[in-house]
Amino acid sequence: MYPEQLPIFKDLNPYSGQIDSNNRWIKLAKLVPWEEMDVIYRKHFDTKKLSVIKNCRLIMGLILGQMFLELSDREIVDYFHENPYFQYFCGKDTFVAKLESKIIHPSLLSKRRRRLGSSYTQKFEREMVIALKKKGLIKGKKLILDATVFPANITHPNDVKLLNSVREYLCKTILDVKNSIDATRKVRTYKRVARKVYLTFQKTKRKTKTFIRKKRKKMIQYVNRNIKQLDILLAEARTYMTEQSSTLKQWSYDP
């Protein structure tokens, strides 16, 4: 049976076991549907690895803490080691000192959010909103979340990624304009080569300043090339449309 309520810290210096049971984290711990979330959480992992992965209450407790406190992954992990009440909320029955290492690496939170997906986090959010509304802890129809906690179709852009988005838009527009003039015409946009450069950049985990600068320079070159190609095609398209309009006027019949 999944424990709905953990005992308060038995021995906690310098507090000598004197802990405020009315603390917000202790109250909130009773409202979270930990057992239901844990069942869904476990389905996202190989059964052989369940014994080594970080448990649901710790991970979702940290994520929920981010939602309320609007902290980054690194900041919420630091907050965990500073606040015994929050540790209790995350499922710890004894105080966890930071010492040499943290309870988890901050990057693990981002990895867990990606693995669990938006459907799990949305379900978690709905359950929490309902529970908090019933207890009167929040009011209104909406709960605004920090975008860094539950990202949904949101990415963290960088120069190369933004340049690639611009390049893809340009290539698509070039194709559309070219087809409106002559569908058989070929325009060399280097989109495959440019995409390969972009994917190489994305897959490289450790990016040096020199590496980033070189890839950014290449992407700028591809974008500039595509802009010039689009300008030429747009000028041709305007000329083509003018000629077509003149031809139609010549052939028009006014009785």
Over the stretch 58-113, which tens digit does the pLDDT of each residue have?
A: 888 888 888 778 888 888 888 888 888 888 888 887 777 777 567 788 788 878 77
pTM of the prediction? 0.45
Give the ranges where the chain is alpha helix by DSSP (H).
24-29, 34-42, 56-69, 73-82, 84-89, 107-134, 159-181, 191-203, 209-251
Q: Does residue 247 have a pLDDT over 70?
A: no
Residues 38 and 109 in one domain: yes
Which pLDDT score is estimated for 19? 66
Residues 106 and 195 in one domain: no
* 104 close to 73: Cβ distance less than 8 angstroms: no
For residues 248, 249, 253, 255, the Cα torsion angle rounded to the nearest 10 degrees is 150
Which pLDDT score is estimated for 131? 67
* Residues 12-62 pLDDT 10s: 554 445 667 778 888 888 877 778 777 777 777 777 766 667 777 888 888
φ, ψ (nearest 5 deg) of residue 156: -100, 105
Q: What's the rounded mean pLDDT across residues 135-144?
A: 54
Residues 31 and 122 in one domain: yes
Q: Which domain holds residue 32?
A: 24-134
Greatest Cα pair distance, the chain, in angstroms, is: 104
Q: Does any domain span residue 36?
A: yes
Higher pLDDT, 131 or 255: 131
Domains in the chain: how many in total?
2
Q: How far apart are CA 162 and CA 155, in angstroms?
A: 11
Q: Does any domain span residue 175?
A: yes
Q: Does any domain span residue 18?
A: no
Q: Which two tokens mark 97?
A: 């000192």
Query: Which of 4-13, 36-45, 140-149 has the least mean pLDDT?
Result: 140-149
Q: Give me the chain's average pLDDT, please.
A: 76
- Give CA separation, 203 vs 51, 151, 175, 197, 212, in Å: 30, 21, 28, 10, 12
Residues 83 and 176 in one domain: no
Residues 202 and 127 in one domain: no
Q: Does any domain span residue 148?
A: no
Q: Does residue 233 have a pLDDT over 80?
A: yes
Residues 113 and 34 in one domain: yes
Confidence of residue 164 (pLDDT cuts 50, 70, 90): very high
Residues 187 and 97 in one domain: no
Q: How far apart are CA 53 and CA 64, in angstroms?
A: 19
Q: Does any domain span residue 7?
A: no
Q: Does residue 162 have a pLDDT over 60?
A: yes
Query: Which of 15-29, 126-140, 218-232 has the least mean pLDDT?
Result: 126-140
Q: Does any domain span residue 3?
A: no
